[in-house]
Chains A and B, each alone.
Chain A
Amino acid sequence: MTYSAREMMAVVAAREIKDGDIVFCGTGISMLAAMAAKHISAPNSVIFFETGAIDAQLEEVPMAVGDPRVMLGAAVHGSLADAFAFMQNRTTGEHVVGILGAAQIDPYGNLNSTSLGDYNAPRVRFSGSGGACDVGSFVGRTILFMQQETRKFVPRLDYLTCPGFLDGGNGRERAGLPHGGPEVVITNMATFRFDADTRHMYLAGCYPGVTPDQVLERMGFAVPVDRARPVLPPDDRELGILRNKCDPQRLILGD
């Protein structure tokens, strides 16, 4: 079966979600990944939203985390204060995996979703942190979605909205952040992970038909490629779940 880059990204992210994970979802493709994971490999994962909807039983894909569709069949309708406290809480926070995206990413997995250019007179303004800074600060693992473009993989962010490993090594610890940090970056061409010591990004996997050189051409900084492995394409079952159960209107998957 042929498939699109978005479908590949959603399936690759779904595979990262483990059974029993508490999955913090943002908007867009992250919701599809979380929905797909429940059907594919992690039936006991729990989807929750910063808006306070805990274990939402999604029947239709939400268009925003404030969509009333996130309220259906939830265990609890909490407030924002509740939702974020679950991530800051020592017992529950470690079990949360957060899924985030951004306009820019740097070699240590820090994200910019605020602005380009001078912050006080920006060339381009984006939505801002929302809950991203909180999720990146609190939780045990984050999955990051990016488009593979030179202007998005930058050596230095225009604005650091959401912490990854800050300046690398034990940067989080030095800043006083809880432990945790980004686990994987998923793009339309490849996956990246972070070295256990330096916390610098490395190429972990290439999608079918993609070479490490093609990936490096679409980045503003170099990463080691010697650990790169092929990433399996989505199989028919995974695609069927994504298309028929998660997003039949193709609201997120697109045409």
Chain B
Amino acid sequence: MNPGSEKVISMREAVDRFVPDGAHLSIGGFTVNRNPMAAVYEIIRQKKTGLHLYAHSNGQGVDELIGGGCVARLEIAYAGSGRFAPTCVRFRKAVQSGRLQVEDYSNYQMTMRFAAGAMGVPFLPVRSGMGTDLVNRWGFTPEMRQSDERLPDLKLAALDNPFGNWADAPNVLLVPAIRPDVTIIHVQSADRAGTVRIEGLPFTDIEQAKAARRVIVTCEELVPTETLREHPEYNQLPFFCVDAVVHVPHGAFPTACYRHYDYDPAFLNQYREWALDEERHARYLQRYIKDTPDHQAFMALQDPAQLGRIKADPRTGYAVGLDRR
């Protein structure tokens, strides 16, 4: 929350100021689309640790933050990158070796949890999951929940419908609001004050942003306020919700940014191979992230011909005929 009109800062400063060690962080995007990757890489560069991470269905962003050693706890519905990694590789390794504590929800439950945070209510009801292990099995211990005031005491709660059988629902599940310290989203356009225009599917980015105390918006294009205000009906997030605006072209790479570029199948396939092996993964982290000063330098390591191939076609918003094997 910041009603100011000038919030453009560098990625380094945004992460340094708004993502302290141990922060409760939520990141936007969906599997291989519009993950705030430039911010993810900067968080790894700055060696942030002990993050409590929230996402709904997230792939590359979640996996790289885990692989970068930044995440201690994760609340999520789905960790996968489509055909490139049906289960995120570093996520799987971290859970199987006991290095990462996970609380599982469904996608709709996570979405309603962000919505509750955005609306300022403690919980919302859903009709999803009754009778399943999402209700019966908890990942976080009661002691952990009670020792962190940023966590509710319960994973979720069952409730008999207080209105009888109204709307044909005898009972519902209540899912608790998520109230992140900071949410980071990557969007197509923003102005210097932080008003946001997402093109294509917004996923749950807007609820995630509104639920957070602080919001970092990274954008492909920094545009004049007048341009966004010619068509306010296409804008989704008002400037006062936003604390920092970072202009970073290719800020979602290697995930897609509709109407700008596709996901990069070559990078995502290569990343999977790196992620599977400890030594290769360590070399990847060193060369691509730790040894680069910023996202521009990270992008300079990519093959320019491949960046040309993933450029979005104006009619479809993605790279038509791209070799995605």
Closest residue of chain B to A133 (Cβ to Cβ) is B106
Contact between B203 and A114, CB atoms less than 8 A apart: no
In the complex, whether A209 has a CB less than 8 A from a CB of chain B is no
Contact between B57 and A66, CB atoms less than 8 A apart: yes
In the complex, whether B41 has a CB less than 8 A from a CB of chain A is no
| Interface size, chain A (Cβ < 8 Å) | 63
In the complex, whether B47 has a CB less than 8 A from a CB of chain A is no
Main secondary structure of the interface of A (DSSP, over half): loop
Docked Cα-Cα span, A137 to B189, in Å, equals 37
Question: Would you give the 0/1 interface string for A220-255, flagging 1 where the beta carbon is closer than 8 Å to chain B?
Answer: 000000000000000000000000000001011000
Closest residue of chain A to B265 (Cβ to Cβ) is A63
Closest Cβ of chain B to A52, distance in Å, is 5
Closest Cβ of chain A to B267, distance in Å, is 13
In the complex, whether A121 has a CB less than 8 A from a CB of chain B is yes
Contact between A163 and B203, CB atoms less than 8 A apart: no
B31 / chain A contacts, CB cutoff of 8 Å: 64-67
Docked Cα-Cα span, A252 to B30, in Å, equals 20
Closest Cβ of chain B to A251, distance in Å, is 6
Contact between A137 and B127, CB atoms less than 8 A apart: yes
A59 / chain B contacts, CB cutoff of 8 Å: 316, 320
Contact between B106 and A131, CB atoms less than 8 A apart: yes
Q: Pick the contact of B80 from A62, A123, A130 — CB < 8 Å?
A: A130
Q: Which of B12-20, B87-95, B149-157 forms part of the interface with chain A?
A: B87-95
Contact between B106 and A81, CB atoms less than 8 A apart: no
- Complex interface residues of chain B between 305 and 325 (CB less than 8 A to chain A): 312, 316-318, 320-321, 323-325
Docked Cα-Cα span, A65 to B29, in Å, equals 12
Contact between B82 and A84, CB atoms less than 8 A apart: no
Q: Which of B164-172, B240-248, B272-280, B295-303 forms part of the interface with chain A?
A: B164-172
Question: Would you give the 0/1 interface string for B187-221, flagging 1 where the beta carbon is closer than 8 Å to chain A?
Answer: 00000000000001111101100000000000000
Q: Which residues of A contact B (CB under 8 A)?
A: 27-28, 50-53, 59-60, 62-72, 77-81, 84, 88, 90, 110, 114-115, 119-134, 137-138, 159-163, 166, 171-172, 175-178, 249, 251-252
What are 27 residue pairs bridging A and B, where the CB atoms are less than 8 Å apart in the complex? A27-B86, A50-B107, A51-B30, A60-B320, A63-B32, A63-B324, A66-B32, A77-B200, A79-B202, A79-B203, A79-B204, A79-B206, A80-B108, A81-B112, A126-B92, A128-B78, A129-B77, A129-B106, A129-B107, A131-B106, A132-B106, A134-B126, A160-B136, A172-B131, A176-B131, A176-B169, A176-B171
The 4 lowest CB-CB distance pairs between A and B, nearest first, are A64-B82, A130-B78, A175-B131, A66-B30
